[in-house]
Amino acid sequence: MAHAELAIEQTLLKEIGRTERNRRQIRGWLAVVLFALFALVLVGGATRLTESGLSITEWKPIHGVIPPLSAEEWEEEFRLYQRIPQYEQLNKGMTVEEFKTIFWWEWAHRLLARSIGVIFALPLFFFWVTRRIERRLRLPLLGILALGGFQGFIGWWMVSSGLAERTEVSQYRLATHLVIACLIFAACMWIYRGLCPHSDDAAPTKRSQAVAGIVAAMSLFQIYLGALVAGLDAGLSYNTWPLMDGALVPGGLFIQQPAWINLFENPKTVQYVHRLGAYLLFALALWHMITSLRAAPETTHARRSLVLFGLVTVQAAIGITTLLLQVPIGWGVLHQAGALVVLGFAIAHWRGFVGEYPRSTAIEVRG
């Protein structure tokens, strides 16, 4: 009997050790994916700020990996660009050398997007066939892969909106493209955090987990509002703070008809709503921190709420500076980076209340 119990105990210890090794490997993989997604969003932001997104006018998922390699190929790529309204109305007279600058931004963005597909899909396949992925994670990871493939289509759908009648992409499609990228980032962060060790600290209050979820959702919504601001170039005007156009509540917010369209197509209204969203997010993070520290200051949840509020505060300062400086490229990219850092930490903080994924048995892992 003792020998049987010892054998069972040894088997369980081996299984626990195997699960831990598998989780470390998957965490390492997801960390690389998260870093690549972070870089992709930043390059995408720079592509938008340099108005480079329409420089490649065709969607070639496979052949497009190879850039022009000769003078003739560069001339052909440039001729394609000369056919669209952006060149005719904004960049007429541009030289091939000037065109190369905007081309390389868009090419780098597309290449990085393709690379992430490989970085995600190949390890996923390896972990799957070697039975290192726990059953509960299989569908979520496949869902992320499918969403990534759909994101490629959304990217071209966005670009195509600026090839015929407009000189830039639709702000609606730009916002959709960015939000999907952030959803992929958030989903990877959620799974990554769930595979990490968690503390046993109880939530500071009954509402702590719900408020953390609201802060995470509000962080994503702020990114959506920021995408509308970017799509309309709304940050290039009304570059004062805390007043906007000389008032706390500026006039002319609902001059377009129907009134709701101002929320999406009036640059003044879009920027003002983005400011209000920032104030609300700041207030929520502050309230969450204060209530957590008052109720249970020694818990990891309370300490994370403090870090989260600090990140939101820094991001607000970056946003104000970016606005006052009239959105220079460096500050614009930094502001987008800050938004992603806030979102990622907010997701991780929220996930911390749920707890680590339960350990799977050998049958569950391999079944």
Q: Are 306 and 229 in contact (CB under 8 A)?
A: no
Q: Which long-range contacts (CB under 8 A, 24 or more apart) does 46-49 make?
A: 46/105, 46/329, 46/333, 47/105, 47/106, 47/108, 47/109, 48/174, 48/230, 49/230, 49/327, 49/329, 49/332, 49/333
According to DSSP, residue 50 is labeled T
Domain boundaries along the sequence of the chain: 1-196, 198-367
**CA dihedral (96, 99, 105, 109) positive or negative:** negative
pLDDT tens, position by position, 205-245: 999 999 999 999 999 999 999 999 999 999 999 999 999 99
d(CA 7, CA 13): 10
Confidence (pLDDT) at 2:
63
Confidence (pLDDT) at 367:
43
Confidence (pLDDT) at 133:
94
Q: Which residue, among 196, 232, 223, 224, has the nearest Cα to 304 in the 3D structure?
A: 196
Count Cβ atoms below 10 Å from residue 291 Cβ, excluding itself: 17
| DSSP string covering 309-367 | HHHHHHHHHHHHHHHHTT--HHHHHHHHHHHHHHHHHHHHHHHHHH-PPPPPPHHHHH-
pLDDT tens, position by position, 128-171: 999 999 999 999 999 999 999 999 999 999 999 999 888 899 99
Give the residue ranges of DSSP H helices in the chain: 2-49, 71-82, 85-90, 96-129, 135-160, 171-194, 208-231, 262-265, 267-295, 300-324, 329-354, 362-366
Confidence (pLDDT) at 61:
79
Q: Which residue, among 314, 311, 227, 336, has the nearest Cα to 271 in the 3D structure?
A: 227
Residues of the chain below pLDDT 50: 361-367
Cα 74 to chain centroid distance, Å, stands at 32
